[in-house]
Structure 1
Amino acid sequence: MGAKLEKIGAELEKARAKRAALDVKIKNLEQKYQEEENTEIHDMVHAANLTPDQLAELLRMAAKAAPNPQMLMETVKEDEQNED
């Protein structure tokens, strides 16, 4: 092989090794993020002193009360058109 080809091959292997290391780091950070998010949710539920049934009911009520994002965007567009 030519020297230039060997150099490019070495750089390629080095880049692949860095990518593999970053993939592992990303996976670990995603796991830590998920764990921390779950801990925060647990702490909020615990602080509110909710039973699992109460939490489920609260989530059902919130889902019914929350505005539909698509409907909200249509309303905003209509308002903007009416202003013109």
Structure 2
Amino acid sequence: MIAGSKAAIEAFTFALAKEVSARGIRVNAIMPGPTTTDSFTSMVAAEEQEQLKQLAPLQRLAAPHEIANAVAFLVSDDASYITGHTLHATGGFA
């Protein structure tokens, strides 16, 4: 189910970018990995969080500011030539 949802988001992002790019509109998406938000830490048991850290290639979970930095980049002029892209801010999770 999750893999299908990811593929759908990527396809939609790419298709919408092609449709609106002539109007100077860029369309991108961010797929964040597990992130230590208040809702995440309240819903996921500490033991499960630790297991996720061990499975993560970077051996940790994302901090909210790291995902925010990815968003800030994509909306900045530094990313003015990027459209139709899905940025996987996952720390190496597939």
Interval containing the TM-score (normalised by the shorter chain): under 0.3
Q: Radius of gyration: which is bigger?
A: 1
Q: Give the TM-score normalised by the residue count of structure 1.
A: 0.26
Higher helix share: 1
Q: Which has the higher contact order (CA 8 A, sep 6+)?
A: 2
